[in-house]
Chains A and B, each alone.
Chain A
């Protein structure tokens, strides 16, 4: 539950990130995936948007200290509730991952155990939290229902390869929500789903934020989706945050990159023969642009 956070002041952010950097030291050069970004997350839906290579996924991994070698993470501050994530040891991090901060990735094919039935995997998440076998099964079925799986009994006994991608993703979300995390990091969680299923999964996440007071970092390439779903949006380009806007005002964004992305997407309410193509300005990489 949200009240498990030992932080009684609701207006203090759940997560504080200051000057976060992720670097990969390659034999011939240094690749900077994230270049000194700062932001906070409260009990809200924070969107991070950007195209492939913008550093949005690497940011998510860095928060949980899951950047693979030779990646190096540094920051001036990386604080989750009362824990300093930079100073935390392996044990503390293990306790936080999954239990207090959960993560859902895009492709369930690589996240689910292929040789274990779905039900056992979901129930295992409850068993890890000391529920009895029967109780775990009962709550697993309930959770499958909560993520709008139509026939939970059948799905419980199915193996991951027998299910569609949409089903697999909802199961992943169900598993991640079982420990009742304070913060959920969702990296393109609905990009592989059909649009109606996508909206239903978003409604599940939405309710968790509004009812349990969970914080959500929602990473996506889809600006229009983020604008309609999130409260606040960070726009990333080349490892930097080029703009932070209230989701409701995304369409009034001022940075040329954000505006370029919005203009490049075909829209049902806009007839046009030629789509405006994004012209990338090298200044966006250094922050010397006149953006607000």
Chain B
């Protein structure tokens, strides 16, 4: 469903250029959820932004549903693939009601039946009709993320690109959103790419994952191998160890990986 081959992203020019993504390749099968984990600056979000068409300066191959993608995307692409961001405060227009937020993609794609689609989308993310005419600031963080998910689903895409979708939420709300994502994924037969710094969240949602550091994929592995600690790479092992709580002696062994 998604094929990425030799993806390279550079920001800036000359001496100040940053080589953010260096020869990243992976494939994601239909109805599979692929995770990308890494620390800040590893390039994981940049990969997702290149796939989604938000970022236009890249080289390499990105193919979606068998079609090779160029930097700029046609409208039809966005009916196929949608994105959910970390901070629903930043991704929802503060002066638009939920109704307007959800009707915009319907109007852009000329889908019609706006009323029924909106009611169904709200229902699907577990929000009642009373939320339809509220503004984002009248919603809690979890409710805002539900609206962001409703907006991404309203075009009935086949692919969902998730960039740290629960990182801004309390753990009890995170559980609700993860459950919701698992349910809509099954109901819509979605193919997903999930970017997160949280190994446990990735393990919970994904089948396979790539570990990124300094723009490169360090290791690609199944979640089962991650769970059993069967990683071949020292970087992954250190990340795993650090994710499992504080251990004074373990900290002494931490190395810097460039």
Binding site for B on A (CB under 8 A): 51-52, 150, 164-166, 194-200, 202-203, 206, 221-225, 227-229, 260-261, 264-269, 271-278
Nearest first, the 8 A-B pairs at minimum CB distance are A228-B245, A266-B204, A194-B39, A278-B172, A275-B175, A264-B175, A229-B246, A51-B170
Question: Does the CB pair A269–B227 fall under 8 Å?
Answer: yes
Question: Does the CB pair A196–B254 fall under 8 Å?
Answer: yes
- Which of B18-26, B176-184, B214-222 touches A? B176-184
| Other-chain residue from A195, A229, A273, A278 in contact with B239 (beta carbon distance below 8 A) | A195
Bound form: Cα–Cα A276–B182 in Å: 13
Interface size on B, residues (CB 8 A): 36
Residues of chain B within 8 A (CB-CB) of A264 are 171-172, 174-175
Question: Does the CB pair B175–A277 fall under 8 Å?
Answer: yes
Question: Does the CB pair A268–B176 fall under 8 Å?
Answer: no
User: 17 A-B contacts, Cβ less than 8 Å apart?
Assistant: A51-B172, A164-B40, A164-B41, A194-B39, A195-B243, A196-B239, A198-B242, A202-B246, A203-B251, A221-B170, A221-B171, A261-B171, A268-B243, A271-B227, A277-B172, A277-B175, A278-B175
Residue on B nearest A54 in the bound complex, by CB: B170
What 14 new A-B contacts, CB under 8 Å, besides A51-B171, A268-B240?
A195-B242, A196-B242, A203-B246, A203-B252, A221-B171, A228-B245, A229-B246, A261-B171, A261-B172, A265-B174, A266-B201, A266-B203, A267-B200, A271-B227
Residues of chain A within 8 A (CB-CB) of B240 are 268
Bound form: Cα–Cα A222–B245 in Å: 10
Which interface residue of B175, B182, B239, B250 has the most chain A CB atoms within 10 A? Answer: B175
Which interface residue of B238, B240, B245 has the most chain A CB atoms within 10 A? Answer: B245
Bound form: Cα–Cα A276–B254 in Å: 34
Is B248 engaged at the interface, CB distance under 8 Å to the other chain? Answer: yes
Binding site for A on B (CB under 8 A): 39-41, 141, 170-172, 174-176, 178-179, 182, 197, 199-201, 203-204, 226-227, 238-240, 242-248, 250-252, 254, 256
Residues of chain B within 8 A (CB-CB) of A223 are 171
Residues of chain A within 8 A (CB-CB) of B39 are 194-197
User: Separation in Å of the B16 CB from the closest CB of chain A?
Assistant: 12
Residue on B nearest A50 in the bound complex, by CB: B170
Residue on B nearest A196 in the bound complex, by CB: B242
Which interface residue of B40, B174, B203, B251 has the most chain A CB atoms within 10 A? Answer: B251
Question: Does the CB pair B203–A268 fall under 8 Å?
Answer: yes
Bound form: Cα–Cα A161–B170 in Å: 28
Question: Does the CB pair A199–B172 fall under 8 Å?
Answer: no
Bound form: Cα–Cα A228–B39 in Å: 21
Bound form: Cα–Cα A221–B170 in Å: 7
Residue on A nearest B178 in the bound complex, by CB: A275
User: Separation in Å of the A254 CB from the closest CB of chain B?
Assistant: 18
Residues of chain B within 8 A (CB-CB) of A261 are 171-172
Residues of chain B within 8 A (CB-CB) of A265 are 171, 174-175, 200
Bound form: Cα–Cα A261–B171 in Å: 7
Bound form: Cα–Cα A228–B243 in Å: 11
Residue on B nearest A262 in the bound complex, by CB: B171
Residue on B nearest A276 in the bound complex, by CB: B175
Residues of chain B within 8 A (CB-CB) of A199 are 242, 246-247, 250-251, 254
Contact (A225, B246) CB under 8 Å given A194-B197, A195-B197, A277-B176 = yes
